[in-house]
A and B are shown apart, each in its own frame.
Chain A
Amino acid sequence: MRELELYFGPQHLGMVGNFSITLKVEGDRILEAQANPGYLHRGFEKLMEYRTWIQNFPMVCRINVIEPDSMEMVYAMAVEKLAGIEVPERANYIRTIVLELSRVSSHLFGLWAYANMLGFDTVAQWAMYHRDLILDLFEELTGGRVYHIYIWPGGVRRDFPEGFKDKIVNTLHSIGSCIPDYDNTFFNNRLFYERAKGIGKITQKEAKELGATGQVLRATGEKFDIRKVEPYAVYDKVDFEIPTREDGDAYSRIWVIRDEMIESVHMIFKLLDAMPEGSVYNKVPNPFKWKIPKGEAYVRVESSRGELGLYMVSNGEDKPYRVHFRTPSYTHGLVILEKLLKNASIADVGNIMISLYVIAPEIDR
């Protein structure tokens, strides 16, 4: 049969954002795939070298559009580590709650993308609506729906407004009460099973060799999660489970996402109960004159997609000397995607890509 080259994306319904794949196909079979990132970024790592430590925040949150909070967290952690700043206990609790809220909102967005791709439009709309309820919470807390710039070096920008705890509880209850609906319509649906079972399968050994983290690894049975491996904020003070599945296929990955969402909601309730009183911010020096001592740091957090790391070098100036982000989608979208697409059929490209939970802005530099 004749071999053809097929360009999949960046303008394509099955594509997640500004990203494309060049496929070499024979009939319906994919012989080879090459991921092409680079459509939307602007060299943010380089630009950060021109800006002061605080001025970088508006750029940091734009690296992952869906879930800016873990990006802010990892940057704040790196700055705190280099400058030796302590964070108040209450701020750590607020940070953890915000990070878990953003995990839920990100997973709902992921569910929207996946359900939409499979043609479950109703479920997709529910997920988008529920995500919007969480964005409302963020708007009240931070002033921004999408980009929050809320987590700063030294703590968080402001305390919870009055009555905010109850609002979180009410919102999460109204989302949680719909879980049976989600299960009946989507997760326990035969169509989902038929369409996702065995698609994009990866074994644990392969996943580890290729540097997988997050759901991709947890769907193969490994409980690797930075929140447990190297706890930050107050993850060592709260009790939670790491959901896993055994099969390593798209079906398992989506189930892991669902279970994680529920676990996060439980965690938020526990954190709200245990939250101490106190200040939420330790003052940092004047941002325009703030020089951070020479040094280097590598810090990592568990974003909703996997291990998110930041290697940062300071040479004693008021700006970072080098910033390098290690994003989970980088490995998943460039290494694992290319591997899983080999011998897949064209109809499964979107299925595999969205189940890997790849987000394009994270890949670009």
Chain B
Amino acid sequence: MTEGGYVGVTASSMIMTNKKLKEELESTFKDIQVIVPEDTRLNITAREEDALTILKFLKDRGFNFLTLISCVDWIKENEFELVYIITSYLQKNDEYTQREKLQIILKTRISRTIPESKTVTPIFSNAEVYERELHELFGIKFEGNQRLIPLFLEREYKIPPFRKDFDTREYVKEVFDKIPFV
């Protein structure tokens, strides 16, 4: 097996891998909910403070590709949901196994009033730019990320623009109606 490989599990039996990973996760972490919606997916819901250790745990088992960090604004519950999508690159270069099909979605919730989370850049270095994006568009502060500088926006916004309480149409009227036609 290559480095960080999933030793002892034949890649062909996907359901086995899924179940074994689920068991392992449930025995290692408390307060964790693991669902297998289909053979190639694994959804984990965990506490925010565990997210970093779970990501480390998964990376040690060969899930070495952080595909995306996303955020969903659940305004009614007054919470942000951080979504980490993790898969793996090929285990052997000339072979496609069931293993690479497995996508893990890790979800954690943080408070909307004080939106703060720990950075995952020590584990996945490409997380930096995703965290920059979420910092700018949702106003989430990632503790430990040294480079939370502006990415897309050119103006200051009272409410970060991707939050649900930011009304794009109102904003457009407010800002651009004042500019006279040439």
Residue A192 is within 8 A (CB to CB) of chain B in the complex: no
- State A300–B41 Cα separation when bound (angstroms): 13
- The answer, yes or no, to whether B29 is at the interface (CB within 8 Å) is no
Residue numbers in A under 8 Å from B79 (CB-CB): none
Contact in complex: A309, B151 (CB < 8 Å): no
What 1/0 flags go to B57-79 for Cβ under 8 Å of A? 00000001111101011000000
Determine if B72 and A209 form an interchain contact, defined as CB atoms under 8 angstroms apart. no
B90 touches A222 (CB 8 A): yes
The residue that B105 contacts in the complex, of A298, A300, A334, with Cβ under 8 A, is: A298
Chain A, 249-271, contact with B by CB distance < 8 Å: what is the 0/1 string?
A: 00000000000000000000000
Q: How large is the interface on B (under 10, 10 to 19, 20 to 34, 35 or more residues)?
A: 35 or more
B56 smallest CB distance to A (angstroms): 15
- Whether A47 touches B168, Cβ cut-off 8 Å, given contacts A209-B126, A331-B126, A335-B128, is yes
Interface bracket on A: 35 or more
- For residue B40, CB closer than 8 A to chain A, the reply is yes
Total contacts A-B at CB 8 Å: 85
- Residue B181 at the A interface, CB < 8 A? no
Question: In the bound complex, what is the Cα–Cα distance between A364 and B136 (angstroms)?
Answer: 13
Task: Using CB atoms, name the residue of chain B closest to A336.
Answer: B126
Q: Among A38, A211, A296, A335, which residue has its beta carbon within 8 angstroms of that of B67? A: A211
**Chain B residues, Cβ within 8 Å of A158:** none
Taken together as a complex, chains A and B put the C-alpha atoms of A209 and B125 apart, in Å, by 7
- Considering only CB atoms, which chain B residue lies closest to A327 in the complex? B68
CA distance A209 to B64 in the complex (A): 8
Could you list some 18 contacts between A and B, CB below 8 A? A37-B152, A38-B154, A45-B162, A209-B125, A210-B126, A211-B126, A217-B89, A223-B94, A228-B96, A229-B100, A230-B40, A298-B68, A309-B68, A331-B126, A334-B129, A335-B128, A335-B129, A365-B152
Q: Which residues of B contact A (CB under 8 A)?
A: 40, 64-68, 70, 72-73, 83, 85, 89-90, 93-94, 96, 100-101, 103, 105, 124-126, 128-129, 133, 137, 151-154, 161-162, 166, 168-169
